[in-house]
Chains A and B, each alone.
Chain A
Amino acid sequence: MTDTLSDYIDAVASALSLPIEPEWKPAVRINLELSLRMARLVDEFPLPDESEPASIYVA
């Protein structure tokens, strides 16, 4: 089975120097899938190009 998400986890872990033991990976994956489901809800919501992110910074 081609598993792009598994490959993605390996690639990001390598890029960020995050050690992920093989036995941790299924749980990391479940959590990432949940985060991406949440992200999809946000992503689907149309926002105008002029939208500013919320920020706590005041110059």
Chain B
Amino acid sequence: MSLDPVLTSQGAWRPASAIAKAVATQQVSALDVVEVALAKIERHNPMLNAFTEVTADRARATARALDAAIAKGETVGPLAGVPFAVKNLFDVAGLPTRAGSKINRDRPAASRDATLVERMEAAGAILVGALNMGEYAYDFTGENIHDGASRNPHDITRMTGGSSGGSGGAVGGSLVPLALGSDTNGSIRVPSSFCGIFGLKPTYGRLSRARSFPFVASFDHLGPFARNVEDLALSYDAMQGADADDAACTTRPVETVSPLIGQDIGDLRIAAAGGYFQNNLMPEAREAVASVIAALGVTETVELPEVARARAAAYLISTIEGASLHLDRLRKRAADFDPAVRDRLLAGAMVPAPLVDRAQKFRRWYRARVLEIFQTVDVIIAPATPCIAPKIGQATFELDGVELPVRANIGIHTQPISFIGLPVVAVPVPLDPMPIGVQIIAAPWREDIALRVAYHLQQSGIVAAPHAKAFQ
């Protein structure tokens, strides 16, 4: 059986819709597609360290069942046979949900998959494994003291970004065409930027977080990574829908975006983010934003109010809610944490309560002001990261002439956006030798608009997921 319907001549995955069509029409079996993914993982994962668990038996069994259903003439979903993997904070039945930690490995195995895993598989996708991540998602680097660092497929001496580092590496290295991750302060958008792929952080509350390990309840989002906008939209559509098992999940009806992404964008009012978002950028980040702005013909700049304070409030709420989540583990197993995570959480437990309340009140104020801006614009363009991927282990970098710690500052442009739950598509600008991302930000519940702009940029050739030459 030829694999041409699912792989390019370079050995990269074709779009998910093409894979699904080939599987549904029996040009290729789901089992063959799964075997391709498993072979890629076996060959390349020792270098990339993206996967922490490979669910090969489960994937083969799912693929055989799908192939049997197709042989009987049953209708299959839009992701039929498409391999995907999930950050290891998603529950996968039969595995303890480690969330990048040592401590969680002692938890009992999950008895049921996370809602989003169930929905992806209901659409025909096939789970092939769980992915490396920064401990408890409190991370922007993709490094992990227990499992080792995720490695960037475009340069394995560099970070993937985090905390969804394995998700970035697995899709950036074409081990799988789709992956899921989480984004609290930037953990989908940062790895997308560093690994040169597309990532969608939906509106807060859009996608169910049920049966995923939390970090900061106020800001936790889940979303997909892909190598093109169509796949991002297809997987997002498959995962939408209310879920009583997540208190924050919206009851809005499903708003399917895939049929909309090709719409003309001439009616959209697009502006660049000014002020704060034009500072603390290395030349590559400026170049990437400039190329996107030029491609879209953007002439207007909007300035979000009090962005530095928004980032500060996001930092505070994260450290406090994270400390609250882990308080008992800090009491009983403090020595088993990554020290860098533990020490931040211990400090978070000591922030006085009135400051938390003020941060949440400021959050509502900031949200109202930013929503006023969306009365006059539909899309805001901003950098995703201040730099291309730093070297693994790199402690500091220089931004605007100031030496700053890497870990605390990678997310300075993503934090003020997730703080109020705006939907964002991170699009990769394929600079050479390393790609870097740009944020396409829309008003709440307008993922469709952000995806339309991303698709337009993709079709114009300005943004693309570059092939990682070493991992074909």
Cα distance, A30 to B408, chains bound together (Å): 12
Q: Which of B353-409 contact A (CB under 8 A)?
A: 355, 357-365, 367, 408
Cα distance, A41 to B350, chains bound together (Å): 17
Tell which of B247, B313, B327, B340 touches A42, judged by Cβ atoms closer than 8 Å. B313
Q: Which residues of A contact B364 (CB under 8 A)?
A: 51-54
Q: Is the CB of A41 within 8 A of B347?
A: no
Q: Which of A1-53 contact B (CB under 8 A)?
A: 8-9, 12-13, 16-21, 24, 27-32, 34-39, 41-43, 45, 47, 51-53
Q: Is the CB of A27 within 8 A of B339?
A: yes
Query: B residues near A, CB below 8 A?
Result: 205, 217-218, 247-248, 306, 308-309, 312-313, 315-316, 319, 327, 330-331, 334-335, 339-340, 342-344, 346-352, 355, 357-365, 367, 408
Cα distance, A20 to B344, chains bound together (Å): 12
Tell which of B205, B361, B408 touches A34, judged by Cβ atoms closer than 8 Å. B408
Instruction: Name the residue of chain A whose CB is nearest to the CB of B251.
Output: A58
Q: Is the CB of B361 within 8 A of A38?
A: no
With A24-B339, A28-B347, A31-B319 given, name 13 new contacts (CB 8 A). Answer: A8-B350, A12-B349, A13-B350, A16-B331, A31-B346, A35-B347, A37-B312, A42-B313, A43-B355, A45-B362, A47-B361, A53-B360, A54-B364
Cα distance, A18 to B334, chains bound together (Å): 9
Q: Is the CB of A42 within 8 A of B355?
A: yes
Instruction: Name the residue of chain B whose CB is nearest to the CB of A9.
Output: B350
Q: 9 A-B pairs, CB-CB below 8 angstroms?
A: A18-B327, A18-B330, A18-B349, A20-B334, A24-B339, A35-B348, A35-B351, A39-B352, A41-B313
Cα distance, A31 to B319, chains bound together (Å): 10
Chain A contact surface mostly = helix
Contact size range, A: 35 or more
Q: Which residues of A contact B218 (CB under 8 A)?
A: 54, 56
Cα distance, A51 to B355, chains bound together (Å): 14
Q: Which residues of A contact B247 (CB under 8 A)?
A: 56-57
Q: Is the CB of B357 within 8 A of A31?
A: no
Tell which of A16, A20, A24, A42 touches B358, judged by Cβ atoms closer than 8 Å. A42
Q: How far is the CB of A47 from chain B (nearest CB, A)?
A: 5
Q: Is the CB of A42 within 8 A of B357?
A: no
Q: Is the CB of B350 within 8 A of A12?
A: yes
Q: Is the CB of A39 within 8 A of B316?
A: yes
Q: Is the CB of B357 within 8 A of A53?
A: yes
Q: Is the CB of B205 within 8 A of A56?
A: yes
The 7 closest A-B pairs by CB, nearest first: A53-B360, A31-B347, A38-B312, A27-B343, A32-B347, A41-B312, A54-B363
Q: Is the CB of B308 within 8 A of A41?
A: yes
Q: Is the CB of A32 within 8 A of B351?
A: yes
Q: Is the CB of B361 within 8 A of A19?
A: no
Q: Is the CB of A56 within 8 A of B357?
A: no
Q: Is the CB of A18 within 8 A of B331?
A: yes
Cα distance, A47 to B355, chains bound together (Å): 13
Q: Is the CB of B362 within 8 A of A42?
A: yes
Cα distance, A35 to B359, chains bound together (Å): 12
Q: Which residues of A contact B327 (CB under 8 A)?
A: 16, 18
Given contacts A24-B343, A42-B312, A45-B306, contact A35 B331 (CB under 8 A): no
Q: Is the CB of B309 within 8 A of A42?
A: yes
Q: Is the CB of A41 within 8 A of B358?
A: no
Cα distance, A9 to B348, chains bound together (Å): 11
Instruction: Name the residue of chain B whose CB is nearest to the CB of A29.
Output: B347
Instruction: Name the residue of chain B whose CB is nearest to the CB of A53.
Output: B360
Q: Is the CB of B343 within 8 A of A47?
A: no
